């Protein structure tokens, strides 16, 4: 029996991503990294050529294509990844179009189809899956959105839920099959530590939307701050020390109904999810509406 979740491995082909920026900017290195993630058990490879970290500057479509197309071609040419889905992490229709032609079957759009007016038509016509994410503002400003002190919400879960419901309805009206949509609450995108924790704690409230929930907590700064506080350290712990927090949040998210987990460290997270799923047994659907991931 297949597990009720999928693990999405991160392949950043960028110079400025918060965790591994520059490490896989070379196409050959990125392809080798992707194949390593497949060997670790990745179900999906999410390839991105533009950083969406807080404060990140946008890049032109031409540059984004220059970064990702050789990597997508290299991954697709590897026979051992035939069963793995390719995802393109972009908000630009031109980039998504070229990526789909190169073999991508998922468009992971952090703007939830708001960044490029041509994206929803492309997704509908191509009949690929898409992931719609909540973000307050844009990467350059998301952690400053709202009043002084950072992002503000009356109720972060209610507001994220309403946003995702509206974007799902928009996509379906535009011709995107509802069964091809995944929803991401956008952990770390325009949220404080408290907001992120509230979303994780009440993630089950988003399962009523009826679509697979994607969670991306991997190595994020809020984990670094929590772990630093626990250790009595003044500065957030480095990204390479955030794996325990990544594992903990993904296991909690599974129990609360998440079904797709976007991570840098595939093998340890997949092992933790396997143990959690076995422990929960049939109860892993108690807070969710389905065990399906697509």
Enumerate the H helices of the chain as residue ranges: 27-40, 61-77, 93-101, 119-126, 156-173, 193-201, 221-231, 243-255, 266-280
Tally of CA atoms within 13 A in the half-sphere of 4 that contains its CB: 25
Is residue 293 within 8 A of residue 260, CB to CB? The reply is: yes
Active site residue 262: yes
Q: Three-class SS of residue 48?
A: strand
* CA pair distance 184, 253, nearest whole angstrom: 12
Residue (of 88, 85, 100) closest to 64 by Cα position = 88
Choosing from 67, 167, 191, 220, the catalytic residue is 220
Active site residue 220: yes
Catalogue the active-site residues.
Answer: 220, 262
């Amino acid at each position: 029996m297949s597990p009720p979740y999928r693990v999405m491995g991160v392949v950043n082909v960028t110079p400025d991503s918060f965790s591994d920026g520059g490490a896989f900017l070379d196409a050959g290195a990125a392809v080798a990294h992707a194949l390593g993630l497949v060997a670790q058990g990745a179900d999906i490879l999410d390839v991105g050529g533009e950083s969406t970290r807080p404060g990140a500057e946008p890049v032109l479509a031409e540059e984004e294509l220059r970064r990702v197309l050789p990597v997508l071609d290299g991954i697709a040419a590897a026979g051992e990844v035939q069963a793995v889905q390719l995802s393109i992490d972009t908000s630009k229709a031109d980039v998504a179009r070229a990526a789909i032609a190169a073999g991508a079957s998922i468009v992971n759009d952090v703007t939830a189809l708001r960044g490029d007016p041509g994206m929803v038509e492309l997704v509908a016509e191509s009949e690929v899956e898409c992931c719609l994410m909540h973000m307050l503002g844009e990467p350059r400003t998301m952690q400053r959105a709202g009043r002084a002190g950072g992002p503000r919400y009356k109720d972060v879960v209610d507001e994220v839920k309403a946003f995702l419901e509206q974007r799902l309805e928009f996509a379906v009206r535009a011709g995107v099959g509802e069964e091809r949509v995944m929803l991401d609450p956008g952990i770390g995108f325009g949220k404080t530590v408290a907001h992120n924790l509230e979303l994780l704690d009440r993630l089950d409230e988003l399962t009523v939307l009826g679509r697979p929930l994607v969670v991306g907590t991997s190595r994020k700064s809020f984990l670094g701050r929590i772990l630093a506080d626990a250790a009595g350290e003044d500065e957030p712990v480095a990204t390479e020390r955030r794996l325990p927090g990544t594992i903990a949040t993904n296991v909690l998210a599974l129990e609360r109904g998440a079904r797709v987990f976007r991570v840098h460290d595939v093998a340890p997270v997949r092992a933790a999810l396997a143990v959690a799923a076995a422990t929960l047994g049939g109860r892993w659907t108690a807070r969710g509406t389905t065990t399906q991931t697509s």
